[in-house]
Chains A and B, each alone.
Chain A
Amino acid sequence: MSELAKALTDLEENKVYQLVDEKIKNGVSPLDIIAECNEGMVGVGNLFSSGEYFLSQLIFSAEIFKNIMQQLEPLMPKSDAGDSASKVIIGTVKGDIHDIGKNIVANLLRGSGFDVIDLGVDVSAEKFVETVRETGARVLGLSALLNFTYPEMKNVVDALTEAGLRDKVTVIIGGAPCNEQVREFTGADYYAEDAVTGVNICKKIYQ
């Protein structure tokens, strides 16, 4: 693991920024810097999976990563780097306005190099379907905190079927009220118990 990757995994915020600054000054390409950061984020995910890190550390790492990306964005070549990336659509389903869980997953996905299309909260089934059709993303993540959303998650899956897109996209559900029983009810493909599990499912799909 490179020094930058390790500093990110260890959540040494100031050191990370300092190393990134140096690399920019030395003319290292933004894409190479991002690759190192992705490695660091994978390290954070591994520590989470092994029980050493908790949600606070996931969120903090994503916060650091976001700041780096903001710094690098203007330096990025205007290429089609985004187009070739693996796309994941994510959103909190209609009726629910909570976004903490969704944001954790979205940021972790970005940290792992995915192109995340974040539709926000209170997202209608039509919006999900439309976005799947337009972007051709192969993964759709449905988030919820409140348990009245079960029928709405099912609604999204049914709407995908109706639009003839169901076999083109893998649907993952996640959030506090979800479990296997809920997955079965909604007709989703996967239930992700935590953010890192969700990211790993996405990786598997795009392998």
Chain B
Amino acid sequence: MSKEIRDLYEERLGRYQATIALEKTDRMPVATGSNYFAEVYSGNTNQETIYDSEKWLKAEEIFIRDFPEVDVLRNNRIWAPLYDAVGCKTYKLPGRDLPSKTQFQFVEEEYMKADEYDILINDPVEFMMDRFLPRVLGDMAEPGSTRCRMAFLKGGMAQMMMAQVMRNRSIYLQEKLGMPQPMTGAFVAPFDVLADAMRGLRGILLDIYRQPDKVLEACDVIVHEIAHFALSTADPLKRYPIFVPTHKACFLSPKQFETFYWPSFKKTLEILINAGYTVRAYLEGDWGHHWHHFLELPKGKLILDIDNQGDIFKAYETLGKHQCLAGGIPDSMFILGTPQEMKERVKLLCETVGKEGGFIINGGCNIPYDTKPENYRAMIDAIIEYGTYDSSYKCKPKVAEPGSVEVEALNKQRMVTPWEKKLEELGNIMGEEDLIRRPWEMLESMGYNWMWQWVM
């Protein structure tokens, strides 16, 4: 990496990290998490972006060339060949089930039955392997069949390929273009694990009335599964936040939120923070009745994206100066508005909620696919004009201790075949046990966490 590119990378990352930590920066970062507009701007179809990693990267290169003020780009969890290899049913994908230029869409079904809570609670492995995965992954519909066994094999291989795609891309963006990531790794809140892919919204709402204790018990179990999953997908160098989209909190009353959603979500967030990470949470829908709870978490550890239905000014009143906030521009303004409207909106945000840092101007958790380029350009120009605090100041990236940290509140990683069992089978170990144990446990963990991605 040339010095020039390294400086650029550090300047961008430092600006982003300092904003999250509520520290001084030279200017407000241009730091959307889900910049859906980026590849579309460069001429990609949505299908090309999720199927062809070369085209994805090429598109990003064009976007970065034209919008060099952007500080981070961008999250994309989906590499479609993995989804095809196992026949994942939870998404309709562009080019496969939808027209190539449409965005991917989540399909909610009841993949867990109302009477299966005890199995999930008492034996998550059995639940995932024998109930959930065969229902949610079409190629595994018949456990034990040749096709199913092949799907596991292909799924594991595709996972490694996807990890390679993501890693190569991250390194390329960093070393060739000086571009950091807005987040790396992801999870969903324990309640959403149940409410999205397992029970669905209808199912979970019936459950919180009909069997509330089971829902709570299940959430407590899921905390550890999902925290391990999040850590297994996170940036080992801890530079970037872990991503969590939140889906069903906006349907709940404050009391339901406090009872069913928050305790296990809070616990998961605490585990990740204690492990040395920051978290970027999309507060989808209107969180106005719930967001004060983020005051309970340590200061400067979260970026909270406020959705279009949330009131950015009220969010700032409650949470500003405690957690970094992002948002403030309605999605419709990117698509239907004018550069002048955009400029005025950004100016207003910079003069109010963005005045003292710890704030990122963004759409409602995203920049829409159909954004008019002139509106996006107007947003950036206005951020530079009105969101510069001290242009002589230089931010430096934070240095984190890499590697995993033991977190007391986190249960040990569950494994299908723990080392103790394997050791018993092996009998006497002739050489050094650790040399055998470590990779054994690493692969067990990888396999185990692989299962949990399908709840996303």
Chain A positions within 8 Å of B, measured between CB atoms, are 11, 13, 53-57, 59-60, 63, 95-98, 100, 146-148, 150, 176-177, 179, 181-182, 185
Contact = CB atoms under 8 A, between A and B. Distances in A.
A177 B329 CA distance: 12
B107 interface: yes
A118 to B, nearest CB: 15
B38 to A, nearest CB: 15
B374 interface: no
Given A54-B251, A148-B103, A59 B201 contact: yes
Interface-centre pick from A54, A56, A98, A182 (highest chain B CB count, 10 A): A56
Contact of A97 (B107, B202, B332): B107
A146 B331 CA distance: 10
B273 interface: no
B209 interface: yes
B86 to A, nearest CB: 21
A181 B308 CA distance: 13
Interface string B301-315: 000000111000000
Contacts of B92: 97
A53 to B, nearest CB: 7
Contacts of A59: 201-202, 205, 251
B202 A56 contact: no
A159 to B, nearest CB: 19
A177 B332 contact: yes
Contacts of A96: 105
12 contacts: A13-B210, A54-B252, A54-B254, A55-B250, A56-B205, A56-B251, A56-B256, A60-B205, A147-B335, A147-B368, A148-B370, A177-B332
B399 interface: no
Given A59-B202, A148-B370, A181-B333, A95 B285 contact: no
Interface residues of B, number: 36
Contact of B252 (A11, A56, A100, A182): A56
Contacts of B250: 55
A146 B103 contact: yes
Contacts of B98: 95
Contacts of B289: 54
Contacts of B105: 96-98, 146
Contacts of B108: 100
A179 B107 CA distance: 25
A181 B337 contact: yes
Nearest to B260: A56
Contacts of A11: 209
A179 B335 CA distance: 13
Interface string B233-269: 0000000000000000011111010000000000000
A150 B332 CA distance: 9
Given A147-B331, A147-B368, A182 B253 contact: no
Main secondary structure on A side of the interface with B: helix
A179 B332 CA distance: 8
Interface of B: 92, 98-99, 102-103, 105, 107-108, 201-202, 205-206, 208-210, 250-254, 256, 285, 289, 307-309, 330-333, 335-337, 368-370
Interface-centre pick from B206, B251, B332, B337 (highest chain A CB count, 10 A): B332
Contacts of B209: 11, 13, 60
Contacts of A98: 105
Contact of B253 (A56, A97, A148, A179): A56
Contacts of A13: 209-210
A96 B289 CA distance: 28
Given A97-B105, A148-B103, A56 B333 contact: no
Please provide the 6 A-B residue pairs with the shortest distance between their CB atoms, ordered closest to farther. A54-B253, A55-B251, A147-B331, A56-B251, A181-B332, A147-B368
Contact of A60 (B206, B309, B331, B336): B206
A179 B308 CA distance: 10
B368 to A, nearest CB: 5
Contacts of B103: 146, 148
Nearest to B331: A147
Nearest to A12: B209
A63 B251 contact: no
Given A54-B251, A146-B103, A100 B201 contact: yes
Contacts of A54: 251-254, 256, 289
Contacts of A182: 332, 336
Contacts of B206: 60, 63
Contacts of A60: 205-206, 209
Contacts of B102: 95, 148
A57 B253 contact: yes
Given A55-B252, A95-B99, 19 more contacts: A13-B209, A54-B256, A55-B250, A56-B251, A59-B202, A59-B205, A60-B205, A60-B209, A63-B205, A63-B206, A98-B105, A100-B108, A150-B335, A150-B336, A176-B307, A177-B331, A179-B332, A181-B336, A185-B332
B205 A177 contact: no
Nearest to B210: A13
B35 to A, nearest CB: 14
Contacts of A147: 331-332, 335, 368-370
Given A56-B253, A148-B369, A176-B309, A63 B330 contact: no
A176 B308 CA distance: 8
A47 B252 CA distance: 14
A191 B363 CA distance: 21
Nearest to B107: A97
Contacts of B331: 147, 177
A147 B210 CA distance: 35
A76 to B, nearest CB: 25
Contacts of A181: 330, 332-333, 336-337
